[in-house]
Amino acid sequence: MTASTQVEEGCISFNFYEDTARPDNFVFIEKFEDENANKHHTQTAHFNTFVEGLSEFLREPLHAEAYKATKI
């Protein structure tokens, strides 16, 4: 999914991390140009295939948070 996402129009960065303190905890940090680019990403085949296949590996429900950055 990383390679497919990184070439999407509007994708600034897409990174995947494993928590060193909790090796079973993973974090995706995605940055898109705007909300429309992020919305488009969540409607792609590779995103939906990934999310659907992920459930068999989760001990807890998938948790997602979105943040909007502003310049200060």
Give me the domains of the chain, ranges plus CATH numbers.
2-56 (3.30.70.100)
Cβ contacts of 10 within 8 Å, gap of 6 or more? 32, 33, 34, 36, 37, 38, 40, 41
> What average pLDDT does the segment 38-45 reach?
94
Distance, CA of 37 to CA of 25 (rounded, Å): 26
Amino acid present at 22: R
20-33 mean pLDDT: 91
β-sheet bridge partners, residue 30: 14
The confidence score (pLDDT) of residue 47 equals: 92
Q: What is the pLDDT of residue 49?
A: 92
